[in-house]
Amino acid sequence: MRKNEIFNVKNLTRLALVAAMYVAVTLAIPGLSYGEVQFRFAEILVLLCFYRKDYVPAMILACLIANLPSTLGWFDWVFGPLATAVAVIPMYRFKNIWAAMLLPVISNGVIVGIELTLAFGSPVLINMASVAVGELAVMITGAVIFKFVFENNHALMRLIGSTRSVDKKTI
């Protein structure tokens, strides 16, 4: 991907819209997006990083913005974007979306699990498991949507600006 392609108006608009969608979905369902039991449906959008690596900064920034109103304050401002960064930075290098979807499950399970322990004093392994299970449910949903809907529709793949050639054998 060339530098001028990353910074063109169309691509920057795409990244801004996806980041705004992440924030909007997170804020629309606060009961599921924050706290000790999480099903943050906006996390489905982090799988876009599998298809195009320049979604990475958009997802990290979106997580930070979505966490600004969190009752956990600075804990969520630091740990949330950190967990997102750990998950999305290597995601584009993965060859299979089913393997790539495990990155946010592991990073959020561990990092947000530790955050919740620091914030609430609850057992770290229970927090890690709780966050990981919620993230796994969301990631499976996202992987199914991207694998079976987006990858079978060239218009949708163009819409997300995918730079990945789709291999139909890796289902």
pLDDT digits (tens, 9 = 90+) for 23-64: 999 999 998 998 888 899 999 999 999 999 999 999 999 999
User: pLDDT, tens digit, for every residue of 70-102?
Assistant: 999 999 999 999 999 999 999 999 999 999 999
The answer to pTM > 0.75 is yes
pLDDT at 34: 86
Determine the Cα angle at 128 with ends 24 and 25, to 5°: 5
Q: What pLDDT sits at residue 170?
A: 44
Is the per-residue pLDDT at 131 higher than 90?
A: yes
pLDDT given at position 35: 81
For residue 164, what pLDDT band results from cuts at 50, 70 and 90? confident
C-alpha–C-alpha distance, residues 163 and 55, integer Å:
11
pLDDT greater than 60 at residue 129: yes
> How does residue 171 score in pLDDT terms, banded at 50, 70 and 90?
very low
Average pLDDT of the chain to the nearest whole number: 93
Q: In order of start, what are the domains of the chain with their CATH numbers? A: 3-159 (1.10.1760)
Q: Give the closest residue to 143 by CA, choosing from 45, 70, 58, 38.
A: 45
pLDDT at 168 over 60: no
Say how far apart CA 149 and CA 13 lie, in whole Å.
23
Q: What does the DSSP assignment read for 37-91?
A: S---GGGGGGGHHHH-TTHHHHHHHHHHHHHTT-TTTHHHHHHHHHHHHHHHTTG
